[in-house]
Amino acid sequence: MFRTLLILIKKEFLQIFRNKSILAIIFVMPVIQLVILPLAANYEIKDIKIAVVDHDKSTESRELIRKITASGYFKIIEYGENYNTAYEEIEKDKVDLILEIPNNFEKDLVRENKEKVSLAINAINGTKAGLSASYLAQILQDYNQQVQLKMTPELESAKKISGVEIVPKFWFNENYNYRLSLVPGILAFLVTLIGGYLTALNIVEEKEIGTIEQINVSPIKKRDFILGKLIPFWILSMVAFSIGLLVTIFVYGIQMQGSFLLLYGFISVYLVAILGMGLLASVYSETQQQSMFMVFFFMMIFILMSGLFTPTESMTDWAKYVAYVNPVTYGVDGVRLIMLKNSGFIDLLPHFGFITGLAIVVISWAVLRYHKTS
Amino acid sequence: MKQLITFVKKEFWHVLRDKRTLFVLFGMPIVQVLLFGFALSTEVKNTKIGVLDQDQSQNSIELISKISANQYFDIDQNLKSIDEAENAFKGGKIKMIVVIPAQFAQNLNSGKIAQLQLITDGTDLNMANQIYNFMSNIIQDFYGQKTFQQTFGVQPEIRMLYNPQLKGAPNFVPGVMAFILLIICVLMTAIAIVREKETGTMEILLVSPMKPYIIILAKAIPYFILSMIILVSILILSVTVLDLPIKGSLFLLFGISIIFIITNLLIGIVISIVTDSQQTAMLIALVGTMLPTLMLSGFMFPVENMPLPLQMVGNLIPAKWYYEIVKNIMIKGTGLAVIWKHVLVLFGMMIFLFVIAVKKFKIRLE
């Protein structure tokens, strides 16, 4: 009974290896994406470009500026006395923020212990603007304490006694690697993309060029036909995953903390669900264009809502529920947990539970649906 | 001329008949605007944390209630011992554990240094840094007030230019515009032409008395019109739903959008000329234009953090220039005085692609 299935799988492989663009998707895409994406996706905020408009030009104002540059977050691009020139630089994107130090800065600080400086921040990128503001506030606080200590040295002893010392510890990431969680996440996203895309296009191609009719009139069982489609793409996706995993380990030096067996077990089940979804898309489309746009549409939602680039915790409440029924959330999270934290099967029970359920639902759906149209 | 109009009509029917693709085309910008506008953010809030209180004193209880009163953190687990810490992280829910060691209160009250440990999940270092800063600020605030006067010294007066509420919309709406126009003009146009080749109907068109350039023009016009409709709907959506007004000149915005659309249509046409199968055309469009646009144009990730070679590759992408132009016109309200260089680059790309398209096209007809 497996003879038909084996023959179908063989036929599928022959077709795949004849098609250069499919091979490119499988072998080139993982490498391109894994090499370029982690380099590009760097949210680390540093070298904030700053223009100082210093109306005071005093020892104190210079000390403040020195403290700002010493922090390492800011790079002074311009130093002058004219706000309008500085503003023009913001308009041209040459500068991210303007620090304006008023006249009599030093005098007021010494006499009244109070002074204001004004910050104008280009806030089109809200996250960056918010962080810049909080970095600067931190520096000003340090600066204030320094000035206060200079004026009332008795505080020095007071500061020492009531101290709470906070010790930061960053676990699971000894080398302070900013790309650590990104790369395994991209790996999961990658197999999703390749698996979903290939399956979605394949059956539709047979519909479009008409060869599906030949299969429909042949004695091939529906079960064999669908399995004959799924198995080759499952194997190819596993190959793509393995290539990606090699890149992750050897190019990015990200060590595998957990068990390979669990990782491959997880990906095997995950891929069944993803291929099933691709299958469903192809059952519902008539042309490759439709099928591709459909996959594209859902893939985009899945990826944005998966916590790959923005954390799921920060989403609004309704969006969190979308994230909880999103297979890619489980895929990205699962690969991260196994690779980075050595999480075990018990930790991943929710992940396994969800994707297994999903796999069963989508594949039975696709099988039922396929029967009606043929 | 009459020929052209009939032909454009025919192409339009093709586009309009495919309801599913149309649904995706209009659905995509709407969903993107909704997701980016209302669902996604990178700010820290409701972060789940664990607490390990080895001290069990008045002081430690005070500190914990101070932390739990904060909106940024939810205390999700009370750990019994440090051995539980690793497992707590492995479940993936908890991002930080606050460890209050034994004798914390004793040290604090006897004037010694009292240590506190903040253990974070370092796999996502950006997030870890951010929540570490928030937490240490809360703790410093709680204990630091006694030593220093908070009102002393220099206070910043902060003005957030262009986007006072720090919304995400000003950053992504221009990106969504660039991306959707790219999909319609490059991907759909390329596929539409290649499909005629694949199914063999191109031969019929080429032997008809129609001039070849009219065939191509007729293919491009429906997508041009579709692009304009989608562009207008994204703008309406962003003005009404996201409260994002268009600060600069609408005329300029549309003028430059037309240049961008034509540039992309030309890319689509060039792809369709050099390929023979839909799958290859899709692949080239995807790898050659869409992925680079998503990754390198500054829409998803900040350009200034990228390594120099990637930034240079990014400069070859029309969408990057368009994205910056739209941000300037829409959000900052600047005019040609600031963006003339960008416009010039975009225009240059259009001319370049036009020359390529014309050259390649002649070769194909021989």
Dist. CA A178–CA A328, nearest whole Å: 22
Position B295 confidence tier, pLDDT thresholds 50, 70, 90: confident
pLDDT for position A267: 95
Position A266 confidence tier, pLDDT thresholds 50, 70, 90: very high
Residue A161's CB is within 10 A of a number of other CB atoms, namely 12
pTM above 0.80, yes or no: yes
Higher-confidence position of B144 and A240 = A240
Dist. CA A284–CA A369, nearest whole Å: 8
Specify which residues B121 forms β-bridges with.
Answer: A171
Nearest by CB: A21 against B91, B158, B279: B279
Give the best-scoring range by mean pLDDT among A115-129, A237-251, A262-276, B56-70: A262-276
Position B329 confidence tier, pLDDT thresholds 50, 70, 90: very high
Q: Which amino acid is at A340?
A: L
Average pLDDT over residues B223-234: 92
Q: What percent of chain A has pLDDT above 70?
A: 96
**Each residue of A161-202: pLDDT tens digit?**
456 777 888 888 777 777 777 888 888 988 898 888 888 888
Average pLDDT over residues B52-77: 86
Neighbouring residues of A350: CB distance < 8 A, sequence distance ≥ 6: A330
Position B151 confidence tier, pLDDT thresholds 50, 70, 90: low
Nearest by CB: A118 against B18, B151, B159: B159
pLDDT for position A359: 93
Dist. CA B140–CA B137, nearest whole Å: 5
- Contact state of A123 with B118 under an 8 Å Cβ cutoff: no
Residues 139-178 of A with CB under 8 A from B: 140, 143-145, 147-148, 155, 158-159, 161-173, 176-178
pLDDT for position B299: 79
- Among A150-159, A212-221, B120-129, B343-352, the range scoring the smallest mean pLDDT is A150-159
Nearest CA to A268 out of A231, A227, A299 is that of A231
Dist. CA B220–CA B209, nearest whole Å: 19
pLDDT for position A344: 86
- Provide the number of CB pairs (under 8 Å) joining chain A to chain B: 312
**Each residue of A4-46: pLDDT tens digit?**
888 888 888 888 888 777 777 777 777 777 888 778 777 777 7
pLDDT for position A329: 92
Q: What are phi and psi of B259, to 5 degrees?
A: -60, -45
pLDDT for position B366: 39
A289 close contact with B: CB closer than 8 A:
yes
Which residues in chain B are closer than 8 Å to A91, comparing Cβ atoms?
332, 334, 338
Higher-confidence position of B60 and B258 = B258
Nearest CA to A128 out of B268, B162, B252 is that of B162
Dist. CA B290–CA B288, nearest whole Å: 6
Give how far Cα B114 sits from Cα of A141, A149, A158, B53, Å.
22, 22, 15, 14
**Each residue of A101-145: pLDDT tens digit?**
888 888 888 787 778 888 899 988 877 888 888 888 888 888 887
Helix/strand/coil for B233: helix
Dist. CA A191–CA A242, nearest whole Å: 10
Average pLDDT over residues B170-194: 87
